[in-house]
Amino acid sequence: MTPQLDSDGRLRHLLTLDGLPRDTLCRLIDRAGQIRDAALGRTPRRQVLDGTTICTLFFEPSTRTRSSFHIAAQRLGADVLNFDASTSSTRKGETARDTLRNLEAMGVRGFIVRHADDGAVAALAAEAGEGTALINAGDGRSAHPTQGLLDVLTIRQAKGADFSRLKILMVGDVNHSRVARSDLHALRTLGAGEIRVCGPTSLLPDDGTLAGCATGQDFDAMLDGVDVVMMLRLQRERMEEGLVSSLEDYHRDYGLTTTRLKRAAKDAVVLHPGPINRGVEITDEVADGPQSLVLRQVSNGVAIRMAVLEMLLG
């Protein structure tokens, strides 16, 4: 039994994809696919969570993830409370645990939590009362499980359910990326045939995160014949920290262009978790081109988050 599963193996919280049973992962992406196929956004609201109050409890900034969860919860009929720690009682010294307990006392049943510290969401989940569910919306470098789920859903829609025949390349700053870690957990669980990871040595972890992956620094060589290219966002502070010499050098060595993309399989698809640094990780022509699934990822994000909320609280 993992902390996010109850004694019967049912999902109580969604904290990480690491160790999440394959059956549970597949049920989530299957359900999200059904929601997506039902023309999400053009159907009447489903009242599965009517009368349920959900809080987006964000201790670090976010626009895309918070908005996606907000829309997902509303489409299920929930009442949504947006809690911004930068303007809240936490600024006066209240602990995250006390904040959680106070909101529970007001009748909040679901918490979507984003935090800068590794393990912070799991620590809060350990304090949650019976019947309260927490969803990790990104913590530190460790996990962003709904992003991992929406990414594998997007790949499955484009390439089919048999991940064992796929060659998948992840490019960029894996060391500081919670998205990369959740993607790797999901891809391993689904039995991806080959996972390649490419980036500057300074941006690749050396702690076992990449166990079983083929790694390298030659982007052109690593692109050869891959079916899926997963680009990661480069945070500009990495240049300030001296981990990247310049944005121009990074783009020269690791930026995805239409010319480079031709090295991949003819029907290869491109993913990026956003927000995109155009002209750094990826060019406009690729980001907006026919092989890009970036907007499909965004759309799938709402469907995945609806499926997660439905499973936990429905």
For residue 275, cis peptide bond before it (omega within 30 degrees of 0): yes
Q: Is 114 annotated as a binding residue?
A: yes
| Positions of E strands within the chain | 53-58, 79-84, 108-115, 133-139, 167-171, 194-198, 214-216, 228-231, 269-271
> Kind and range of the H or E element at 26?
helix 22-37
For every residue of 266-290, DSSP letters joined together read TT-EEE--S---BTTTB-HHHHTST
Q: Is 260 annotated as a binding residue?
A: no
Q: Is 272 annotated as a binding residue?
A: no
Integer Cα distance of 222 and 167 in angstroms: 10
Residues contacting 44, CB < 8 A, separation 6+ = none
Integer Cα distance of 8 and 117 in angstroms: 30
Integer Cα distance of 307 and 286 in angstroms: 30
Q: Is 92 annotated as a binding residue?
A: yes
**Residue 269 forms beta bridges with which residues?**
228
Q: Is 16 annotated as a binding residue?
A: no
Selection from 33, 25, 29, 52 nearest residue 133 by Cα:
52
Q: Is 65 annotated as a binding residue?
A: yes
Give the DSSP letter of residue 193. Answer: S
140 Rama sector, left if φ>0, alpha if ψ -120 to 50, beta otherwise: left
- To the nearest 10°, report the CA torsion of 190, 112, 66, 34: 40
Q: Is 178 annotated as a binding residue?
A: yes
Binding site, annotated residues: 64-65, 92, 114, 144, 147, 178, 233, 274-275
Binding site, annotated residues for L-aspartate: 92, 178, 233
Binding site, annotated residues for carbamoyl phosphate: 64-65, 114, 144, 147, 274-275
